[in-house]
Structure 1
Amino acid sequence: MATITTSDGTTLFYKDWGPKDAQPIVFHHGWPLSADDWDNQMLFFLSEGYRVIAHDRRGHGRSDQTDTGNDMDTYAADVAEIAKALDLRDAVHIGHSTGGGEVTRYAARAERGRVAKAILIAAIPPVMAQSDANPDGVPMEVFDGLRSALEANRAQFYRDLPSGPFYGFNREGAKVSQGLIDNWWRQGMSGGAKAHHDCIEVFSETDFTEDLKALTVPVLIIHGEDDQIVPIENAAHKAIKLVRDGTLKTYRGLSHGLFATHPDVVNPDMLAFIRA
């Protein structure tokens, strides 16, 4: 397996496919998944001539099951170490959900020349949780419920979430893919319970407002209008107002996991943005 060891001694797994002199596209997965969530997109962009890279976030997948460092600043620092180790320049960074937050924090702080464009898919920025500053956010009770479900029976919780709201399979008339559900469970259960538990606070309470404002590269914001996990009104509709050079693309009726359920729709739109 291809790995790097970070400055704090954490081993991170990554995939790196394609010509090393091609423009790199770096994929950042959502909670509590792994680089494998991007298989379709990595094959698609590889076939278009790009170098494609995806890593398992610390505590997730095949990376070390850390009990410390499970915070957004460390996640972004880990990406910076991968970018330096692989000498990634002029890269396009694509992030889903929590991974979209990771892209935002990393790109806002990245060395000049490292990042060319960013794509945020069903991403958590600017901030999910309800507060005095974000009164229309998601109530904290929702995230407490996620923590309780993980503590009580993580294996069952990781069946229930993809079977229901994550992919919109709880909607009337939905075309259910048992393979997607099983693969979600497989990826989730390969990670560490402590890191996943910590990450609930990370994706719910981290404020990316200043990161979004600091982005200088073109940003494509993609969101399903029927996202039951990261509501579009609290995320994409706010984020697009904070970035300097942003494009918003929404999809009627599509879910939080829209790039997995409808890659034939989403992939060409991402490719067009990257090529523009």
Structure 2
Amino acid sequence: MGYYVNVEPGVNLYVEDLNPEGSKTIVFLHGWPLSHKQFEYQFNVLPAKGYRCIGIDWRGFGNSDKPFHGYTLDRLADDIRNLIGALQLNNFILVGHSTGGAIVIRYMARFKGYGVSKLVLIDAAAPVGFADKEAANQMLNETLKDRPKMIRGLIDSFFFQYITDPLSDWFFQLGLQAGGWSTAAVIVMLRDENVYGDLPQISVPTLIVHGIHDQVIPFAQAEELNQNIRNSQLVPFQYSGHGAFWEERDRFNHLLRQFIG
């Protein structure tokens, strides 16, 4: 079922809540500039295995409200904390893909991992999002001039495996659901912020999944996360780019279930 949760006056986040009676809860944070719908191939499987799966659209993306303000790691992490409190979640598994990975890392540091029993980072945009400031500025410029073209270019570099035109079109439409202003603001956030200082504050068991062919966030960054997050394990995905959750979805779903226990 889907519903909205108020996280700030005038700002409501959309939540997809599947199998609310599940024995263990997994909270999913999507990547930029997508929405919770990117995890369709997890949501098809995991609720049937007895898990409660909660997909959250960040502010500015998917079905959530799209205010002009609030696109910093601190504010996005605060949104998640307010939502977790509203839903009274505890002892849950927190999953973040790409920029969602940076947000969950900030959440863990800012709120001492409140309620989280285990953490999963998929092709995380961390410790930095854009190491190349010039590339970030170029993407920002294109977003402000021709956002559909920028999204098409992103999809072209997203996957290692072959994808069909219909799947590419689906990801394209997910990207277009976002606000133009929020899409641009998150590029600035990824360019100017990082989570280096947050990593030592993570203490829960952490699974790091990263495609070795990732052209968006290099695999070396996953190795850096593994070195700086204690009690973490890195699992390379040999046949994936930036979309391991789809490109090797059966393996990913099995690994996630194993990790959760």
Q: TM-score, length-normalised on structure 2?
A: 0.95
SS in 2 for 1:6: strand
Contact kept in structure 1, 2:33 and 2:183, CA below 8 Å: yes
Residue in structure 2 matched with residue 92 of structure 1 by the alignment: 93
Which of 248, 252, 256 is equivalent to 1:266?
252
Contact kept in structure 1, 2:22 and 2:50, CA below 8 Å: no
Cα separation, partners in 2 of 1:205 and 1:232, compared to 1, 3 Å: farther
Cα separation, partners in 2 of 1:202 and 1:112, compared to 1, 3 Å: closer
Percent identity, aligned pairs only, is 31
Residue identity in the other structure for 1:56: D
Residue in structure 1 matched with residue 238 of structure 2 by the alignment: 252
Bigger drift between 55-64 and 120-129 goes to 120-129
Which of 161, 166, 174 is equivalent to 1:187?
174
Query: Could you tell me how far 1:111 is from its partner in structure 2?
Result: 5.9
Q: For residues 23 and 7 of structure 2, what CA distance do their matches in structure 1 show?
A: 25
Residue in structure 2 matched with residue 142 of structure 1 by the alignment: 135
Residue in structure 2 matched with residue 161 of structure 1 by the alignment: 154
Query: Could you tell me how far 1:20 is from its partner in structure 2?
Result: 3.5
Are 1:120 and 2:121 matched, yes or no? yes
Between the two proteins, the alignment pairs up a number of residues equal to 260
Residue in structure 2 matched with residue 216 of structure 1 by the alignment: 203
Are 1:30 and 2:23 matched, yes or no? no
Q: For residues 189 and 21 of structure 2, what CA distance do their matches in structure 1 show?
A: 33
Q: Pairwise CA RMSD of aligned residues?
A: 1.5
Matches within 5 A, 1:96-107: 96-107=97-108
Q: For residues 155 and 112 of structure 1, what CA distance do their matches in structure 2 show?
A: 36
Instruction: Write out the 4+ residue segments of structure 1 that deviate beyond 4 Å after TM superposition.
Output: none
Query: Could you tell me how far 1:21 is from its partner in structure 2?
Result: 5.7
**Which consecutive residues of structure 1, in runs of 5 or more, have no partner in the other structure?**
130-137, 169-173
Matches within 5 A, 1:191-202: 191-202=178-189
Residue identity in the other structure for 1:159: R
Query: Could you tell me how far 1:157 is from its partner in structure 2?
Result: 2.0
**Which consecutive residues of structure 2, in runs of 5 or more, have no partner in the other structure?**
none
